[in-house]
Amino acid sequence: MHDDRDDNNAVSRSVPDGTSAARLAERGLRYALVDTASDAVLDAWLQADRRGFHAPAPPADSMPRRRDAIRGLRLIGVWDDAAPAGARPDVPIATTVSWPNELTVPGGALPMYAISSVTVAPTHSGRGIARAMVEGELRAASSAGFAIAGLTVSESTLYGRYGFGPAAMAAEITIETGRARWTGPEGPGTVVFVDINEAPALFGAVHERARLLSPGDVSTRGDFWASLTGADEPDAESTRARRFVVYREPDGEPTGAAMYHLTKHPDVFSKHTLEVGCLTAASDAAAGALWRYLLSVPLVQTVKAPLRPVDDPVRWLIGDFRAAAVTVVDHHWLRILDVPRALESRTYAVPGRLELVVRDALGFAAGRFSMIVDDAGRAVVARLADAPERDAGADASPGEHMELDAQALASLYLGGVSADVLARAGRLGPRSRGAVETVDRMFRTARAPWLSTWY
């Protein structure tokens, strides 16, 4: 089936946002799409991007691969053509990149506009550059037909102003192995080591199955797993320290994979820390077997696993609940651009009726909407002016109503943040008496939303 978003996304890669270009031109700055046909221009953009995240300069022999990995994406740069003598005018002073992705939602998936690498050089902060770039990407996403955009953030204070809300949290789990006696079931398969050359394909295949089980997770780009595992730089010191294991079912099918490395204790050789770089599993048996393996590696006192789901069952698989310390942080931030399409793309736990009034300073999600969920959990959402008249013989109850902003709607969307919490925090507007309970019953999910990667 032909998807018009394919055509629209091709257009978005070749058309800069006029509003952002004009806004930054007033400040003497040039906002433009990056010429991805030029190696020199790509190298300058990559330099600015790495500078923004304080990353070291990459090895020269890795540049062809790095260029190829981003050529098909929408790359934005901002240049100061009036830079003083000694500055490099070819290196942008701000960057961002975006591409089409797929977001897992309760009961299905929908296309998502992924945004990343939002950087502004500290020499040019406070000039509205980040605002121009992010709002420009949201306009590009909307014009390309995307109902939702997403990003992962290095600072949680930055993106609420653009209507993004934290929708999926992540947990860092730290476990004392000496107290973590395994009490869970023993899976029927086996855990085996794999070579780094095998790892990208195996991890990618497992993740593609696993990510469909978790609302909030996303598909990954072609170069992602080679980069994460280090297979693209096999001689790097950090890569050589990594180990890779795969859980195979009795028939040999891989359904789980984990990557880790050890950080040595400075004094005691039996008290190292095992740091999990990735644990992806398409079944509970695979996840349990990999956890059991990681907790049993010799000479390890502590296992640290970041980016885990907040409802990871590992604490219920060990004998001492308090052997595991859990820290929860915001991780996946979403931005609703098309309310009816976004809400109709997921399923709901119970039937019900809602009237939502969404406030949105940028206009994308603003409006009054009727939402009717049937017994199968499917929603029909329409702007109130376009909503069909109720059948005179049908239940005439108008349902509950709630007013909220775009950020709150984004946080509620996957079911990981409750309306009750937002109401107690004063983040919801006027509403009917039963609206909070109705929203929470409808939007809840059995599994907490989780994004298993960064992007």
Q: Which residues are catalytic?
A: 159, 455
Strands 352-359, 367-373: pairing is antiparallel
Q: Is 126 annotated as a binding residue?
A: yes
Q: Is 406 annotated as a binding residue?
A: no
> Quick one: CA dihedral 402, 404, 406, 408, positive or negative?
negative
Q: Is 86 annotated as a binding residue?
A: no
Q: Is 154 annotated as a binding residue?
A: yes
- Is 267 in a helix, a strand, or coil? coil
Q: Is 70 annotated as a binding residue?
A: no
- Please give the single-letter amino acid code of residue 323: A
Q: Rounded distance, CA 141 to CA 255, Å?
A: 34
Q: Is 155 annotated as a binding residue?
A: yes
Nearest to 70 by CA among 91, 103, 46, 54: 46
Any bridge partners for residue 243, and if so which? 260
Q: Is 130 annotated as a binding residue?
A: yes
Q: Rounded distance, CA 147 to CA 417, Å?
A: 20
Q: Is 318 annotated as a binding residue?
A: no
Q: Rounded distance, CA 221 to CA 225, Å?
A: 8
With 0-12 CB in 10 A as exposed, 13-18 as middle and 19+ as buried, what is 243? middle
Cβ-contact 162, 134 below 8 angstroms: yes
Q: Rounded distance, CA 251 to CA 122, Å?
A: 55
Longest Cα–Cα distance of the chain, Å, equals 79
Which residues contribute to the annotated binding site? 118-120, 126-131, 154-155
Which residues contribute to the annotated binding site for acetyl-CoA? 118-120, 126-131, 154-155
